[in-house]
Homo-oligomer: A and B are copies of this chain.
Amino acid sequence: MALVKLIEYAEAGPEVRAVYDDIMKTRNVDWINNFWKAIAHDPKTLKRTWESVKEVMAPGALDARTKELLYLAVSVTNNCEYCIVSHMAGARKAGANDAMLAELMAVVGMANETNRLVNGWRVEVDEKLQKAARGG
């Protein structure tokens, strides 16, 4: 059981309902998942977070599926169960299949491994890589 009471649509005030309506419309779903109900106790955080997520996750230079995969990679690294489940669901909805998810896990695992090999030996950044990273 969450540490705050979840705010259902029926009991929500107009400010919260407006956000819920926009979530359902934007995502083309007819229900609100627990994350939003949990932060709805703080309508400003609900509104700010939703508007930020909506802007950040909209297709742009990266498509929606890639964005969901990135979100999932971060959540796996941080071990956030809710976020893993919800963004794996989001990635599938955006077209990710079993093989893609398996490859994502392999990449995330490998990155977490080599991050520590680099950390441990305090490897200095190559100038060539630095320049290439800047697009120079």
Report A's interface with B, CB cutoff 8 A.
1-4, 31, 33-35, 38-39, 41-42, 44-45, 48-49, 52-53, 55-57, 60-62, 66-67, 69-89, 92-93, 97-100, 102-126, 128-130, 132-135
Do A114 and B53 touch across chains, with their CB atoms under 8 A apart?
yes
Shortest C-beta distance, A120 to chain B (Å), equals: 4
Given contacts A34-B125, A82-B123, 6 further A-B contacts (CB under 8 A): A3-B84, A38-B121, A62-B107, A77-B78, A78-B79, A79-B80
Determine whether the beta carbon of A114 is less than 8 Å from that of B83: yes
Ordered by A's residue number, 19 sampled pairs between the chains whose C-beta atoms are within 8 Å are A2-B122, A33-B129, A35-B117, A41-B102, A42-B106, A44-B55, A48-B56, A53-B110, A60-B103, A66-B69, A74-B77, A77-B119, A78-B111, A79-B79, A84-B122, A106-B117, A109-B113, A109-B116, A112-B115
Chain B, Cβ-Cβ closest to A107: B70
A3-B134, A55-B48, A124-B2 as given contacts; A73 in contact with B74, CB under 8 Å? yes
Q: Among B57, B97, B121, B132, which residue has its beta carbon within 8 angstroms of that of A61?
A: B97
Which label, helix, strand, loop or mixed, suits the secondary structure of the A interface? helix
Are A4 and B121 interface neighbours, CB within 8 A? yes
Would you call A52 and B42 a contact (CB within 8 A)? no
- B39 contacts A121, C-beta separation under 8 Å: yes
